[in-house]
């Protein structure tokens, strides 16, 4: 889905703040939330793509106002409610008030029927698909052309994995793009590498 979470490649947000010595956790509750979410994934309560999608489904104002671990908590709670492990009423009773959850999920999709394999050196074009469910295709590379420079092992296809849709695992391709192609006249000259799932790519047709 296209949402407030997909900020990669966008302008107008100012400098990226970075603190080299920042602690991983700032409060004890963050450690507990991280441990509970990790345990849930390890026990098969939900998978990582379901987890990511529940964060994507947060109401935009909630997403922007929430900290990293608040988003983790929202995803964890939402999925536990959706899978029948707890009710929203129980959460609100424990919290002593409203407990915001993510919005309802949309449907997923299986692999692209016409997907092809690529090799390093191949020129590829990123599809311009817009889907309602989960995906891992950054908006800023849609429709752009790049060169495959590497291939990663196969991994569950996120568009299906987040929704329980049967699908084949896919490789991701390390695709190298030119900054001038991604942001014409608005970026220093550089190469940008993006891991792109097989179903998101098609052969580049010159002309």
Q: Please, which residues have CB within 8 angstroms of residue 84's CB and are 6 or more apart in sequence? A: none
Angle 129-134-140 from CA coordinates, rounded to 5°? 50
Q: How confident is the model at residue 65 (pLDDT cuts 50, 70, 90)?
A: very high
In this predicted structure, the answer to whether residue 6 has a pLDDT above a threshold of 90 is: no
Largest CA distance in the chain: 62
| pTM for this entry | 0.91
Q: Domain spanning 1-105: which CATH class is it, in words?
A: mainly alpha
C-alpha to C-alpha distance for 82 and 40, rounded to whole angstroms: 14
Phi, psi of 9 (to 5 degrees): 80, 0
C-alpha to C-alpha distance for 145 and 143, rounded to whole angstroms: 7
For the segment 104-131, what is each residue's pLDDT rounded down to a tens digit? Answer: 999 999 999 999 999 999 999 999 999 9
Encoded tokens for 30? 């963050």
- Its CATH architecture, for the domain 123-203, is Roll (2.30)
Check for a shared fold between 1-105 and 123-203.
Answer: no
Q: What is the mean pLDDT of residues 91-97?
A: 96
Q: Where along the chain do its domains lie?
A: 1-105, 123-203
Q: What is the pLDDT of residue 197?
A: 98
Q: How confident is the model at residue 3 (pLDDT cuts 50, 70, 90)?
A: confident
Q: What is the mean pLDDT of residues 94-112?
A: 96
């Amino acid at each position: 889905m296209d949402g407030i979470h997909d900020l990669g490649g966008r302008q107008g947000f100012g400098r990226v703040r970075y603190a080299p010595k920042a602690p991983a956790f700032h409060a004890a509750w963050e450690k507990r939330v991280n441990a509970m979410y990790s345990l849930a994934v390890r026990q098969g309560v939900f998978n990582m793509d379901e987890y990511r999608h529940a964060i994507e489904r947060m109401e935009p104002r909630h997403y922007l106002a929430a900290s990293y671990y608040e988003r983790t908590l929202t995803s964890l709670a939402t999925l536990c409610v959706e899978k029948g492990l707890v009710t929203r009423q129980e959460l609100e009773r424990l919290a002593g008030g409203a407990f915001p959850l993510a919005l309802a999920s949309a449907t997923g999709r299986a692999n692209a029927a016409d997907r092809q394999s690529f090799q390093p050196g191949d020129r590829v074009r990123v599809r311009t698909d817009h889907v309602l469910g989960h995906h891992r295709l950054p908006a800023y590379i849609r429709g752009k052309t790049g060169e495959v420079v590497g291939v990663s092992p196969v991994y569950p296809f996120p568009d299906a994995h987040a929704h329980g849709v049967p699908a084949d695992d896919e490789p991701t391709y390390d695709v190298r793009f030119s900054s001038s192609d991604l942001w014409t006249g608005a970026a220093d000259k550089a190469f940008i590498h993006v891991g792109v799932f097989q179903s998101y790519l098609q052969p580049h047709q010159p002309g």
